[in-house]
Protein backbone atom coordinates (compact mmCIF):
# COMPACT_ATOMS: atom_id res chain seq x y z
CA UNK A 1 0.00 0.00 0.00
CA UNK A 2 2.87 2.40 0.63
CA UNK A 3 0.91 3.88 3.53
CA UNK A 4 1.92 5.30 6.86
CA UNK A 5 0.52 3.73 10.01
CA UNK A 6 0.64 6.04 13.01
CA UNK A 7 0.79 4.30 16.38
CA UNK A 8 0.94 5.83 19.83
CA UNK A 9 1.10 4.91 23.47
CA UNK A 10 1.88 6.72 26.69
CA UNK A 11 5.27 5.02 26.66
CA UNK A 12 7.02 2.20 24.85
CA UNK A 13 4.67 -0.63 25.79
CA UNK A 14 2.73 -0.08 22.56
CA UNK A 15 5.69 -1.53 20.70
CA UNK A 16 4.06 -4.89 21.47
CA UNK A 17 1.35 -3.74 19.06
CA UNK A 18 3.71 -2.16 16.55
CA UNK A 19 5.72 -5.38 16.19
CA UNK A 20 2.66 -7.09 14.68
CA UNK A 21 2.09 -4.22 12.25
CA UNK A 22 5.66 -4.45 10.97
CA UNK A 23 4.62 -7.66 9.27
CA UNK A 24 2.16 -5.87 6.97
CA UNK A 25 3.09 -5.32 3.35
CA UNK A 26 4.07 -1.94 1.93
CA UNK A 27 3.68 0.15 5.08
CA UNK A 28 5.79 2.44 7.22
CA UNK A 29 5.13 2.54 10.96
CA UNK A 30 5.50 5.82 12.85
CA UNK A 31 5.36 5.32 16.60
CA UNK A 32 4.99 8.05 19.21
CA UNK A 33 5.81 7.14 22.80
CA UNK A 34 4.97 9.93 25.24
CA UNK A 35 7.81 8.88 27.51
CA UNK A 36 8.05 12.29 29.16
CA UNK A 37 4.61 11.79 30.72
CA UNK A 38 4.30 8.03 31.12
CA UNK A 39 2.26 6.46 32.65
CA UNK A 40 -1.17 7.76 31.69
CA UNK A 41 -2.96 5.16 33.78
CA UNK A 42 -2.78 7.13 37.02
CA UNK A 43 -3.77 10.48 35.45
CA UNK A 44 -7.17 12.15 35.55
CA UNK A 45 -9.49 11.65 32.55
CA UNK A 46 -9.14 15.34 31.63
CA UNK A 47 -5.35 15.09 31.54
CA UNK A 48 -5.42 11.86 29.53
CA UNK A 49 -7.71 13.48 26.95
CA UNK A 50 -5.42 16.50 26.63
CA UNK A 51 -2.33 14.36 26.15
CA UNK A 52 -4.12 12.14 23.63
CA UNK A 53 -5.23 15.13 21.55
CA UNK A 54 -1.66 16.44 21.42
CA UNK A 55 -0.18 13.12 20.25
CA UNK A 56 -2.98 12.44 17.75
CA UNK A 57 -2.64 15.87 16.14
CA UNK A 58 1.11 15.45 15.87
CA UNK A 59 0.74 12.12 14.07
CA UNK A 60 -1.91 13.52 11.73
CA UNK A 61 0.56 16.23 10.76
CA UNK A 62 3.04 13.50 9.75
CA UNK A 63 0.73 12.44 6.92
CA UNK A 64 -0.49 9.13 8.32
CA UNK A 65 -3.15 7.05 6.57
CA UNK A 66 -4.47 5.20 9.63
CA UNK A 67 -4.05 5.84 13.36
CA UNK A 68 -3.70 3.06 15.93
CA UNK A 69 -4.26 3.86 19.60
CA UNK A 70 -1.85 1.33 21.13
CA UNK A 71 -2.83 2.37 24.64
CA UNK A 72 -5.65 0.83 26.62
CA UNK A 73 -5.98 3.86 28.88
CA UNK A 74 -6.42 6.26 25.94
CA UNK A 75 -8.74 3.80 24.20
CA UNK A 76 -10.89 3.63 27.33
CA UNK A 77 -10.90 7.33 28.19
CA UNK A 78 -10.13 9.42 25.10
CA UNK A 79 -10.90 7.48 21.91
CA UNK A 80 -13.56 9.96 20.80
CA UNK A 81 -11.19 12.90 21.21
CA UNK A 82 -8.61 11.07 19.09
CA UNK A 83 -11.20 10.40 16.37
CA UNK A 84 -12.14 14.07 16.32
CA UNK A 85 -8.49 15.01 15.83
CA UNK A 86 -8.05 12.38 13.10
CA UNK A 87 -11.09 13.65 11.13
CA UNK A 88 -11.40 11.37 8.09
CA UNK A 89 -8.37 9.22 8.95
CA UNK A 90 -9.45 5.76 10.18
CA UNK A 91 -8.74 5.17 13.88
CA UNK A 92 -8.30 1.70 15.37
CA UNK A 93 -8.20 1.42 19.15
CA UNK A 94 -7.28 -1.68 21.09
CA UNK A 95 -10.63 -2.27 22.77
CA UNK A 96 -13.08 -3.64 20.21
CA UNK A 97 -10.60 -5.87 18.33
CA UNK A 98 -9.34 -7.36 21.59
CA UNK A 99 -12.83 -7.96 22.95
CA UNK A 100 -13.90 -9.67 19.72
CA UNK A 101 -10.94 -12.06 19.92
CA UNK A 102 -11.58 -12.79 23.62
CA UNK A 103 -15.23 -13.60 22.94
CA UNK A 104 -14.22 -16.06 20.23
CA UNK A 105 -11.91 -17.88 22.63
CA UNK A 106 -13.61 -17.82 26.02
CA UNK A 107 -15.69 -20.58 27.54
CA UNK A 108 -17.60 -18.03 29.61
CA UNK A 109 -15.24 -16.53 32.22
CA UNK A 110 -13.02 -13.59 31.25
CA UNK A 111 -10.51 -11.76 33.38
CA UNK A 112 -9.17 -8.31 32.49
CA UNK A 113 -5.94 -6.83 33.83
CA UNK A 114 -4.94 -3.23 33.19
CA UNK A 115 -4.05 0.14 34.66
CA UNK A 116 -6.26 1.73 37.29
CA UNK A 117 -7.78 4.08 34.69
CA UNK A 118 -8.68 1.24 32.32
CA UNK A 119 -10.14 -1.02 34.99
CA UNK A 120 -12.00 1.80 36.73
CA UNK A 121 -13.61 2.79 33.43
CA UNK A 122 -15.21 -0.67 33.18
CA UNK A 123 -15.05 -0.39 29.40
CA UNK A 124 -13.90 -3.95 28.76
CA UNK A 125 -16.67 -5.41 30.90
CA UNK A 126 -19.30 -3.30 29.15
CA UNK A 127 -18.15 -4.33 25.69
CA UNK A 128 -17.80 -7.99 26.63
CA UNK A 129 -21.36 -8.17 27.95
CA UNK A 130 -22.73 -6.09 25.07
CA UNK A 131 -21.35 -8.41 22.40
CA UNK A 132 -21.40 -11.77 24.17
CA UNK A 133 -23.62 -14.46 22.66
CA UNK A 134 -23.44 -16.59 25.82
CA UNK A 135 -23.75 -16.10 29.57
CA UNK A 136 -20.53 -14.42 30.61
CA UNK A 137 -18.72 -13.71 33.86
CA UNK A 138 -16.10 -10.95 33.90
CA UNK A 139 -13.49 -9.96 36.47
CA UNK A 140 -11.34 -6.81 36.35
CA UNK A 141 -8.06 -6.37 38.21
CA UNK A 142 -5.83 -3.29 38.17
CA UNK A 143 -2.09 -3.99 38.13
CA UNK A 144 -0.35 -0.60 38.49
CA UNK A 145 3.10 -2.00 39.27
CA UNK A 146 3.38 -4.05 36.09
CA UNK A 147 4.38 -1.14 33.83
CA UNK A 148 7.38 0.05 35.88
CA UNK A 149 8.51 -3.56 36.35
CA UNK A 150 8.43 -4.14 32.59
CA UNK A 151 10.28 -0.92 31.84
CA UNK A 152 12.88 -1.87 34.45
CA UNK A 153 13.41 -5.08 32.48
CA UNK A 154 12.24 -7.23 35.41
CA UNK A 155 9.85 -9.30 33.33
CA UNK A 156 10.74 -12.59 35.05
CA UNK A 157 12.31 -11.23 38.24
CA UNK A 158 11.25 -12.87 41.54
CA UNK A 159 9.77 -9.54 42.65
CA UNK A 160 7.61 -9.47 39.52
CA UNK A 161 6.43 -13.02 40.16
CA UNK A 162 5.50 -12.08 43.73
CA UNK A 163 3.59 -8.97 42.59
CA UNK A 164 1.82 -10.97 39.88
CA UNK A 165 0.81 -13.66 42.35
CA UNK A 166 -0.88 -10.97 44.45
CA UNK A 167 -2.67 -9.35 41.51
CA UNK A 168 -3.79 -12.60 39.89
CA UNK A 169 -4.98 -14.40 43.05
CA UNK A 170 -8.62 -13.21 42.69
CA UNK A 171 -8.69 -14.19 39.01
CA UNK A 172 -7.25 -17.60 39.75
CA UNK A 173 -9.83 -18.08 42.50
CA UNK A 174 -12.58 -17.09 40.06
CA UNK A 175 -11.38 -19.69 37.57
CA UNK A 176 -11.10 -17.39 34.55
CA UNK A 177 -10.47 -19.30 31.32
CA UNK A 178 -9.46 -16.26 29.25
CA UNK A 179 -7.39 -13.26 30.28
CA UNK A 180 -7.35 -9.95 28.40
CA UNK A 181 -3.98 -8.22 28.74
CA UNK A 182 -5.50 -4.77 29.02
CA UNK A 183 -2.23 -2.87 28.83
CA UNK A 184 0.23 -3.03 25.97
CA UNK A 185 3.16 -3.56 28.35
CA UNK A 186 1.68 -6.80 29.66
CA UNK A 187 2.56 -9.16 26.77
CA UNK A 188 6.16 -8.84 27.97
CA UNK A 189 5.01 -10.55 31.19
CA UNK A 190 3.49 -13.46 29.29
CA UNK A 191 5.82 -16.17 30.73
CA UNK A 192 4.94 -15.15 34.30
CA UNK A 193 1.22 -14.87 33.55
CA UNK A 194 1.15 -18.29 31.88
CA UNK A 195 3.00 -19.77 34.84
CA UNK A 196 0.51 -18.39 37.35
CA UNK A 197 -2.62 -19.06 35.26
CA UNK A 198 -1.93 -22.41 33.61
CA UNK A 199 -4.45 -23.38 30.96
CA UNK A 200 -5.80 -19.82 30.69
CA UNK A 201 -5.97 -18.28 27.20
CA UNK A 202 -4.15 -14.95 27.07
CA UNK A 203 -5.41 -12.32 24.63
CA UNK A 204 -3.12 -9.43 23.70
CA UNK A 205 -4.13 -6.44 21.65
CA UNK A 206 -1.34 -6.46 19.06
CA UNK A 207 -2.59 -9.59 17.37
CA UNK A 208 -6.17 -8.31 17.45
CA UNK A 209 -5.29 -4.88 16.02
CA UNK A 210 -3.29 -6.46 13.20
CA UNK A 211 -6.30 -8.61 12.37
CA UNK A 212 -8.47 -5.48 12.20
CA UNK A 213 -6.05 -3.74 9.84
CA UNK A 214 -6.12 -6.78 7.58
CA UNK A 215 -9.91 -6.42 7.52
CA UNK A 216 -9.31 -2.83 6.33
CA UNK A 217 -7.30 -4.12 3.37
CA UNK A 218 -3.74 -4.40 4.63
CA UNK A 219 -2.00 -7.65 3.79
CA UNK A 220 0.80 -9.66 5.35
CA UNK A 221 4.22 -9.16 3.81
CA UNK A 222 5.85 -11.99 1.92
CA UNK A 223 8.97 -13.78 3.15
CA UNK A 224 8.69 -12.25 6.62
CA UNK A 225 9.89 -8.84 5.44
CA UNK A 226 9.56 -6.16 8.11
CA UNK A 227 8.29 -2.63 7.53
CA UNK A 228 10.45 0.34 8.56
CA UNK A 229 9.80 1.66 12.08
CA UNK A 230 10.46 5.19 13.30
CA UNK A 231 10.17 6.01 16.99
CA UNK A 232 9.29 9.51 18.16
CA UNK A 233 9.86 9.81 21.91
CA UNK A 234 8.97 12.85 24.00
CA UNK A 235 11.87 12.20 26.35
CA UNK A 236 15.38 11.00 25.57
CA UNK A 237 15.68 7.20 25.29
CA UNK A 238 16.76 5.31 28.38
CA UNK A 239 17.62 1.73 29.25
CA UNK A 240 13.93 0.80 29.23
CA UNK A 241 13.81 1.28 25.47
CA UNK A 242 16.79 -0.99 24.87
CA UNK A 243 15.26 -3.56 27.21
CA UNK A 244 11.88 -3.60 25.42
CA UNK A 245 13.42 -3.59 21.93
CA UNK A 246 15.59 -6.53 22.94
CA UNK A 247 12.73 -8.50 24.47
CA UNK A 248 10.58 -7.96 21.37
CA UNK A 249 13.50 -8.75 19.04
CA UNK A 250 12.73 -5.65 17.00
CA UNK A 251 15.26 -4.57 14.37
CA UNK A 252 17.36 -1.45 14.79
CA UNK A 253 14.99 1.48 14.40
CA UNK A 254 15.23 5.21 13.77
CA UNK A 255 14.75 6.88 17.16
CA UNK A 256 13.99 10.60 17.34
CA UNK A 257 13.36 12.98 20.23
CA UNK A 258 10.28 15.12 19.60
CA UNK A 259 8.68 18.00 21.47
CA UNK A 260 4.89 17.94 21.06
CA UNK A 261 3.33 21.32 20.27
CA UNK A 262 1.08 22.69 23.00
CA UNK A 263 -2.20 22.36 21.16
CA UNK A 264 -5.34 23.84 22.70
Distance CA 97, CA 250 (A): 23
Active-site choice (85, 143, 183, 200): 183
Per-residue burial over 187-211, b = 16 or more CB atoms within 10 Å of its CB, e = otherwise: bbbeebbeebbeebbbbbbbebbbe
**CB of 89 within 8 A of CB of 65?**
yes
Active site residue 183: yes
* Length of the chain, in residues: 264
Active-site choice (71, 85, 143, 210): 71
Q: Residue 68: beta bridge partners?
A: 7, 92
**CB of 208 within 8 A of CB of 18?**
no
Neighbour count for residue 257 (Cβ, 10 Å) = 13
Mention every residue, 6+ apart, whose C-beta is less than 8 A from residue 125. Answer: 112, 138, 140
Per-residue burial over 213-252, b = 16 or more CB atoms within 10 Å of its CB, e = otherwise: beeeebeeeeeeeebebebbbbeebeebbebbbeebebee
Active site residue 210: no
Catalytic residue ranges:
71, 183
Amino acid sequence: MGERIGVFDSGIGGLTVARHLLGLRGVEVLYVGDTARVPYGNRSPETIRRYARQVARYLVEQGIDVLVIACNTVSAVAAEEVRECAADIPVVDVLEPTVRVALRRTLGSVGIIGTRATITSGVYERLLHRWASMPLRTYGQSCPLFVPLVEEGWTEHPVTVQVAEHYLAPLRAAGVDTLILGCTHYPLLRPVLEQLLPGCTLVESGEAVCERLQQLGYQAAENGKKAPLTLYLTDVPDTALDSVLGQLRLPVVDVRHVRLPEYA
